[in-house]
Amino acid sequence: MRWLRRLVLVMVVAAGAAGAGAWVAWTRVAEPFQGFADAEVFVDIPPGAGPAGIGQRLVDAGVVRDPLTFRVAVWLSGRARELKAGEYRFDRPLSASGVVDRIVRGDVYARLITFREGLTIPEMAAVFEQRGFGSAASFEAAARNPALVREVDPAARDLEGYLFPETYALPRGTPADEVVSQMVALFLRSFDADLRAAAAAAGLTVRQAVTLASLVEKETARADERPLVAAVYANRIKARMGMQADPTVIYALQKAGRYDGNLTRADLQFDSPYNTYRYAGLPPGPIAAPGLASLQAAVRPAAVNYLYFVSRNDGSHVFATTLAEHNRNVRTWQVEYFRKQRRESGVGSRPDRR
C-alpha cells in the first residue's frame, strides 16, 4: 500500500503545480504589460494567421508577455476564429485580454492620406504611392472605372474630377479600387441633390458643372474669388466666348506628356480639345478634382457681369467687364509689375497671363 500513498502524493503535488500555473496564467492575462521601449509599436497581422502565429508576433513586438499568456487569453475569450488581420498600433501597457479584444474588433490603425483640391488623377496616384498605400499604377487603373459615376455622368471615360479631395483615414494596404470607391462615394454625397438641382437650374449637366468647378479650383484658392471666377466663365459661356484658361492648356500638355512646368505663347496653340484658347466653351471634361467650395461656386456664381480677370501676383485677381478695362489691368499687373521686378532684381521674370 506504500506505493499507492506515493502515487496519491505525486498526483496532489502535480495538481497543485497545475493550479499554480493556471493561477499565474490567469493573473498575466488580466495584467497590463508593455515590453517595448519605444513610444509606440506596430504589429502587422497577415490574413490567414492563426492564434499561435499572431501570439508570436505580439510577443516579438513586446505587446504580450509570452505565447502561453496570449493563448489563454484567446481561449478565455472563446473567439479564436474572430481574430482579424491588419496593422495594429500599441502605445501603452495593455492586458492580454485587452489585446485580444482589440484584434477581435478589428481595431486596425488607420493611416491618414490627404488628396488636396486641384489634383489630377496622376497627381493623386503619386500621393497614393508616396504614402505607402500601393503603386501609382494601381491607383490610375482604378480611376479608369467610369462605371462608378455612370448614373450622374454617362459620358465619363474616367473619374477625373469625381475623386473628392479630402483627408481619408485608411488601414495600410487598402487596395486602390477601394480608396477610389470611397472618394467617388464622398463626391456623390457632397455634390448632393441640392447642388445638382442648382446645376440644372443654371443649365448645366453634372459633367459641365464639375468641369466648370475644376477651372475655378485651378484658377483661385481664395474663397471670396471662387464665385467671381465662376461668374466670369459662366458669362463667357453665355456670350459664346472662349474660356481662354491657362490651366486647360497645361492639362492638355500634361496629358500629352509635353508640360515642363513653363507655359509659353506657342503652347497656347497646342491642338487639343482641352485647349480653351483654340476651342470655345468648356473643355470636354474636368481638368482636376474640385473641392466643395468650387462646386458650390460653379452652380451658384456671383451675380456680376465680369468677363475677364488677371492675377495681381499675390494669389488674388482683379476683375473687369470690358476688354479696355482688362487691358489696363493687364498693363498694370503684368507688364508694369514685371518690368519693375526686373529692374529691382536684375533678373527676368515670366508674367502670369491669368
How far is Cα 278 from Cα 268, in angstroms, rounded to an integer? 8
Which amino acid would we find at residue 335?
V
Please state the pTM of the whole predicted model: 0.79
Q: How many residues does the structure list for the chain?
A: 354
What is the structure's pLDDT at 337?
Answer: 72
Task: For the chain, give the mean pLDDT.
Answer: 89
What is the structure's pLDDT at 118?
Answer: 97
What is the structure's pLDDT at 343?
Answer: 77
pLDDT at 177 exceeding the cut of 90: yes
Q: In degrees to the nearest 10, what's the CA dihedral of 18, 24, 26, 30?
A: 180
What are the φ/ψ torsions at residue 42 (nearest 5 degrees)? -115, 140
What is the structure's pLDDT at 329?
Answer: 93
Q: Distance from first CA to last CA of the chain, Å, rounded?
A: 108
How far is Cα 25 from Cα 37, in angstroms, rounded to an integer? 24
27-108 CATH fold:
Dna Ligase; domain 1 (3.30.1490)
What is the structure's pLDDT at 27?
Answer: 76
pLDDT at 77 exceeding the cut of 70: yes
What is the structure's pLDDT at 248?
Answer: 96
111-190 matches 27-108 in CATH topology: yes
Q: Which three cell numbers stand for residue 141?
A: 487603373
- Looking at the DSSP assignment, which residues form a beta bridge with residue 18? none
Cα separation values, 88 from 42, 130, 244, 339, 342, Å: 6, 21, 51, 58, 56
Cα separation values, 134 from 88, 126, 128, 175, Å: 19, 10, 6, 7
Higher per-residue confidence, 20 vs 24: 24
Q: Which three cell numbers stand for residue 77?
A: 475569450
What is the structure's pLDDT at 347?
Answer: 57
Half-sphere exposure of 27 (CA within 13 A, CB side): 6
Judge residue 307's burial from the number of C-beta atoms within 10 Å of its C-beta, 0-12 exposed, 13-18 middle, 19 or more buried.
buried
How far is Cα 180 from Cα 187, in angstroms, rounded to an integer? 11
CATH of domain 111-190: 3.30.1490
How far is Cα 316 from Cα 354, in angstroms, rounded to an integer? 11
Residue 146 per-residue DSSP state: G
pLDDT at 14 exceeding the cut of 60: no
pLDDT > 90: percent of the chain:
79
Number of H helices, E strands in the chain: 14, 6
How far is Cα 272 from Cα 91, in angstroms, rounded to an integer? 54
How far is Cα 85 from Cα 43, in angstroms, rounded to an integer? 10
> 156 near 138, Cβ under 8 Å?
no
pLDDT at 73 exceeding the cut of 60: yes
> 349 near 335, Cβ under 8 Å?
no
What is the structure's pLDDT at 163?
Answer: 98
Q: In degrees to the nearest 10, what's the CA dihedral of 327, 328, 332, 336?
A: 70
What is the structure's pLDDT at 105?
Answer: 94
What is the structure's pLDDT at 2?
Answer: 43
> 275 near 268, Cβ under 8 Å?
yes
How far is Cα 307 from Cα 323, in angstroms, rounded to an integer? 8
Q: In degrees to the nearest 10, what's the CA dihedral of 5, 8, 12, 17?
A: 100
Q: How confident is the model at residue 22 (pLDDT cuts 50, 70, 90)?
A: low
Strand pairing class (317-320; 308-311): antiparallel
Q: Where are the domains of the chain?
A: 27-108, 111-190, 193-306
What is the structure's pLDDT at 335?
Answer: 78
Q: What average pLDDT does the segment 1-23 reach?
A: 41
Q: Give residue-wise pLDDT tens across range 295-334.
A: 999 999 999 999 999 999 898 999 999 999 999 999 998 8
Q: Give residue-wise pLDDT tens across range 240-288.
A: 999 999 999 999 999 999 999 899 999 999 999 999 999 999 999 999 9
Q: Give residue-wise pLDDT tens across range 190-215.
A: 999 999 999 999 999 999 999 999 99
Q: How many other CB atoms are there within 10 angstroms of residue 46's CB atom?
A: 11
How far is Cα 117 from Cα 164, in angstroms, rounded to an integer? 8
Cα separation values, 201 from 59, 189, 305, Å: 63, 19, 19
What is the structure's pLDDT at 24?
Answer: 62
